[in-house]
Amino acid sequence: MLPRDMFLNGLKPTLHIAHRGGALVAPENTLEAFQRAVHTHRTDMLELDVHLSRDGEVIVAHDDTLERCTDGTGPLAALTLAELRKLDAGYHFTPDEGRTFPFRGQGVRLPTLREVLRAFPALRLNVELKPDVPGAEDVLVRLLTEEGALGRVCLGSEQDVIAERLHEKLPDACHFYPRDALAAFVLALKAGEAPPEDARYSVLDMPLYFGEVRLVDDALLQAVAERGKWINVWTVDDPAEMDRLIAEGVGGIMTDRPDLLRQRMDASGKPG
């Protein structure tokens, strides 16, 4: 079975997907957030982002700079893994608009992707490669191969050029649509036209809204299903929207509030 088929095999709507582990309930893209999402909120999938350190380690982080999520400064790529290990990745997290910082000084660190894969050996991951640095895809592919994780990871990038390089390296793996290819697919459907056929990408990770326009509807869900593809919607933190998406049967919901999504999914009585 190809890694792409392994990833998609057995998936049933609606998946509980913790966006960056649940960025509004714990420091994003950290083991602390991932562990809460998995063990407390029973998430089906983790969504995360990766960069390369100066010495070529695959680091789990969203930003290419350190200021927003750690007590460090400057580009992440300028530091080695050993230097990154010294930073406090819980420093800026606050659940109450700055009144308290419960994870500050608690030993929260930026994890490597290898650590995350080993911490959750049976869990599916949605992994976005962030930097447009030729060769970064080689490092990521080598790591996933070494860890035997190709069948449980869906890969991609917002940037089409990075997504294309990833697909060239791993043509049989699961890949999600990058920005321009996704826009072409969705806009064609909204215009009542046949979307471009693109066998490279199996998963649509897409926003729920574009401006005031709600993109997800029955026609879109049906068209995606007819083409054998899967759709995950981001980033949904409103309980009413969660309820509506669950009722509509969307493939997966990415949320910064895995606690709320678990409550709504359990209340729905539907599998997931």
Q: What is the pTM of this model?
A: 0.97
Does residue 69 form part of some domain? no
pLDDT band at 141 (very low <50, low <70, confident <90, very high): very high
Query: Any idea what DSSP says for residue 195?
Result: P
pLDDT at site 263 = 98
Does residue 101 form part of some domain? no
CATH of the domain at 207: 3.20.20.190
Does residue 78 form part of some domain? no
CA distances from 88 to 27, 31, 104, 184, 265 (A): 10, 13, 7, 40, 33
Q: Is the pLDDT of residue 84 over 70?
A: yes
d(CA 55, CA 47): 24
Contact in structure between 48 and 58 (CB atoms under 8 Å):
no
Does residue 106 form part of some domain? no
Q: Is the pLDDT of residue 253 over 90?
A: yes
Does residue 87 form part of some domain? no
Task: Encode pLDDT of 215-230 as tens digits.
Answer: 999 999 999 999 999 9
Domain range for 17: 3-64+112-268
pLDDT at site 119 = 98
Q: In the predicted model, what is the mean pLDDT of residues 148-156?
A: 98
Does residue 96 form part of some domain? no
For the chain, the domain total comes to 1
Contact in structure between 244 and 8 (CB atoms under 8 Å):
no
CB neighbours of residue 179 within 10 Å: 13
Q: Is the pLDDT of residue 271 over 80?
A: no
Does residue 120 form part of some domain? yes
Q: Is the pLDDT of residue 272 over 60?
A: no
